[in-house]
Chains A and B, each alone.
Chain A
Amino acid sequence: MGKKMMRRIVSSFFSLVALVVMVFFLSRLTGDPAALFLPIDATQEMLDQFRELHGLNDPLIQQFGRYVWDVLHLDFGDSIRKARPAIDVVLESFAWTLQLALITIALVTALAITIGSIAAFRPGGLFDRFVSLVSLVGASAPDFWIAIVGIVVFSITFGWVPTSGTGTVWHWILPVAVLFIRPFGLILQVVRGSMLTAFGSAYVKTARAKGVGNRSIIFIHTLRNAMLPVITVIGDQAAAMLNGAVVVETIFGFPGVGKLMIDSILQRDFNVILAAIMVTALAIFVMNLLIDIAYALLDPRLRT
């Protein structure tokens, strides 16, 4: 297990380095930050001064060398747009995304596993059919539409929750609800399928024959064995959220890292793009490690 972990750490490190090198050079091919930062009728003198101030006139390889040297000294450069350290900007945003992702994925996991397991226990029953319908609708509904409808219904019509923003616990309800729906539908389907397979296995039949209660069969004997594919899907969904929930962040004015990355790409704020990629990649890497550990805990064969 230790060796596996080490191998993963080393391969993740090289992947991250390759990603940073690629993004560094490719992003610089896509446009000039001076033209985007300064107004469209800026004079040539202003453009030249801007490029000089931000080291954009130097050869690319020299810029890259300087960047690597600075990063090795934990200096990720300044955001051109915000005139402050890029890493501060990214960490502030990432904190919002992390909270949003953790809350949502915790709710999704708890509810999808519980409801999916119960639905699978009596396949074809009324509860199962209802759950399947709801989860399919949830998995295929567009975030944007749900968010706008949610605002119109719950904020404007009923006035129960604020339309958007941050500040109180009430502000989290709509964004979390919107973010919840799609992974909930997806994970619930996987839980249900995986549990159905497990219910058909010999050890469940034996347990039933021995008179073990339904609750024990579902939550003690079957669930643990059915969890491996579910954890994979949860990991994928959590990774997507850690990269930023762009639609939710944009509509609800959540200052998360997804919207920050999109804005930074559009504005060619290179240092922010790179810092955001490094932070999110690191988070996803840590999450993958946690998933590996979870696999090992659930399946003793993986511990060797």
Chain B
Amino acid sequence: MKGKRLLLGLMMTASAAASAWAQEAKDITVVLDEEVDLVEPCMATRSNIGRIILQNVSETLTELDVRNNKGLMPRLAESWEEASPGTWRFHLRKDAKFSDGSAFDAGDVKHSIERAMSDKISCESPRYFGDTKLETKVVDDNTIDITATPAQPILPLLMTLVTVVPAETPIEFTREPIGTGPYKLTEWKAGQSITLTRRDDYWGSAPEVTKATYVFRADPSVRAAMVAAGEADIAPLISELDANDAEMDFSYPNSETFYMRLDHSIPPLNDKRVRQALNMALDRDAFIGTLLPKGAIKATAIVPPTTLGWNPDVKVAPYDPEGAKKLLAEAKADGVPVETPITIVGRTNNFPNVVEVLEAAQQMFEEVGFKTKLQMYEVAEFEKQYSKPYPENRGPLLVAAQHDNARGDPVFSMYFKYDSNGRQSGIANPDVDKMIAEATAATGEARAADWKKLIAYLHDDVVADVLLFHMVGFARVNPRVDFTPTIATNSQLQLSEIHFK
């Protein structure tokens, strides 16, 4: 009897303690899939960092709205215009302040751009600018001219990727980010958690969430369990297997496109009929709802449908094994070495079921007459196959990869994937190079039309690669929280978008 009482007492104490790790009313806990090593603002385009600090701590001049489909919106810049060819003038907010109390002005923007582009620090931002060089000129405290060489028609969009820090920030990675955003970083327990606390002196309207604590759990089941147990409110990334509660779980396009990059320089992949046969050999529908989640969309471009210039007229190659066999026979008759073994290169843990998906694709290729082998690599080895300089004597490769573009414009993808000098390009086609250059330089409707044309040309005429699926992710959200994940959730999680029921 005494033992039973003791046990009961222990259970009650444990239950009481359990309530201690539940959430305060307007505080939330977000459980992320990987530990954050840095919270450096110039690295905020990296998804694990961006989810914490982008627009929460560190803001940008402009912001791409995908939630309400409003396109490019003002943030720290109230407005902007092209002052002269290549030069954009940004008119800045007068009421913004950094969390250290200092005022925000054009000098901060100038320093932030120079810092992000500096060769003394390895920021991510320069990758979005390629060979474009930026010069800044402070017109007055609230006006700045930014000149891009060569002229950059989407400079205001590119400014969504440059976070603003105070002019005093040294050119080295900081562990104490100071920003103009609605939150400030108040605690960082290395390897355990990061806490953001709402600012009272934020220039915009005050968000509902008062405090956000980010914790890190590598296992998707644990992330899902934390939300189910009330220990966390949002798990932006859980596995499909764990997404089994309709009340809490959401699927959303995660901005990743899964495709197989073909190396056009090596036979038999240099023959268009062979590339068409590869596309026709795949029964894409068979993957959806089986090895891949139901929400996956068959891809006709390397960018998701929310991107400028996405072409609805381009159709997925039909599943036609007989047609594929016929094309292969024609190619063989013309001396194309179609029986050369082709290596399918995949990345371990790229996404759930990646091995099974590639094995199924391999089976479908073999059924129409291809000889293939599957080779899985961990990320560092995979990178050697995926990016130039490609290995010598490599033989024909199908490199299966995911590409992420939630930035709203194909320019962030097309050069890298299809230009002759692109680091992950499998083709060297002067017509494609010209089209990319033209679209990159175009503005407005002409830009959308140019990208649309390029997407159709790559898919239908060049048959550049085997485009597979626009992927979906799964998130679990505690029912007390009013938040719906979007395509942007892969790269940022604005606390101001989170409300309570």
Contacts and interface: CB of A to CB of B under 8 A. Distances in A.
Do A and B pair up? The answer is yes
Interface of A: 30-32, 35-46, 49-50, 53, 79, 81-84, 89, 92-93, 96, 148, 151-152, 155-156, 158-168, 170, 250-253, 255, 259-260, 263, 266, 268
Contacts of A151: 221-222, 225
Contact of B126 (A31, A46, A160, A163): A46
B424 interface: yes
B18 interface: yes
A266 B379 contact: yes
B40 to A, nearest CB: 7
Given A38-B124, A43-B126, A263 B387 contact: no
Contacts of A32: 380, 383
A30 B383 CA distance: 12
A46 B221 CA distance: 37
B222 A251 contact: yes
Given A43-B126, A159-B18, A164-B217, A82 B229 contact: no
Contacts of B20: 168
A168 B218 contact: no
A26 to B, nearest CB: 13
Contact of B38 (A83, A152, A156, A167): A83
Which of A31, A39, A148, A163: most chain B CB closer than 10 A?
Answer: A163
Contacts of A38: 122, 124, 127
Contacts of B15: 159-160
Contact of A92 (B35, B121, B190, B423): B190
A83 B123 CA distance: 12
Contact of B37 (A50, A81, A148): A81
Closest 7 CB pairs of A and B: A255-B191, A31-B380, A83-B173, A160-B14, A41-B416, A81-B37, A82-B37
Given A252-B222, A255-B192, A35 B216 contact: no
Contacts of B416: 41
A164 B379 contact: no
Contact of A44 (B37, B121, B423): B423
A162 B381 contact: no
A147 to B, nearest CB: 8
B151 to A, nearest CB: 19
A237 B172 CA distance: 42
B21 A162 contact: yes
19 contacts: A31-B380, A32-B383, A36-B380, A38-B127, A49-B122, A53-B121, A96-B191, A148-B219, A151-B222, A152-B225, A159-B14, A163-B222, A164-B222, A167-B21, A168-B17, A251-B219, A253-B192, A253-B218, A253-B222
Interface of B: 11, 14-15, 17-18, 20-21, 35, 37-38, 40, 45-46, 119-122, 124, 126-127, 130-131, 172-173, 175, 190-193, 215-219, 221-222, 225-226, 228-229, 231, 378-381, 383-384, 386-387, 412, 416, 423-424
A50 B193 CA distance: 28
Given A36-B383, A250-B219, A155 B38 contact: no
A50 B126 CA distance: 12
B424 A163 contact: no
A165 B192 contact: yes
Contact of A36 (B45, B192, B379): B379
Nearest to A35: B383
A156 B14 contact: no
A35 B386 CA distance: 11
A5 B452 CA distance: 75
Nearest to A173: B14
A252 B412 CA distance: 37
Most buried by A among B221, B222, B381, B384: B222
Given A93-B191, A162-B18, A250-B219, A263 B229 contact: no
Given A49-B119, A160-B15, A164-B222, A81 B124 contact: no
Contacts of A44: 423
Contacts of A263: 35
B21 A83 contact: no
B332 to A, nearest CB: 35
Interface centre among A31, A45, A83, A160 (most CB of B within 10 A): A83
B424 A83 contact: no
A93 B424 CA distance: 37
Contacts of B38: 81-83
A36 B189 CA distance: 25
Nearest to A31: B380
B103 to A, nearest CB: 28
Q: Which of A43, A45, A161, A259 is the most central at the interface, judged by chain B CB atoms within 10 Å of its CB?
A: A43
A63 to B, nearest CB: 18
A35 B226 CA distance: 33
A43 B229 contact: no
Nearest to A50: B122
Given A35-B380, A93-B191, A255-B190, A43 B127 contact: yes
Contacts of A253: 192, 215-218, 222
Contacts of A79: 37
A250 B386 contact: no
Contacts of B424: 40-41
Nearest to A42: B127
A252 B217 CA distance: 7
Contacts of A255: 35, 190-192
B229 A159 contact: yes
A45 to B, nearest CB: 8
B231 A162 contact: yes
A36 B190 CA distance: 21
A32 B193 CA distance: 29
B14 A39 contact: no
Given A41-B127, A253-B215, A83 B381 contact: no
B192 A155 contact: no
A179 B423 CA distance: 45
A36 B216 CA distance: 20
A155 B229 contact: yes
Contacts of A40: 383, 386-387, 423-424
A164 B232 CA distance: 11
A248 B412 CA distance: 39
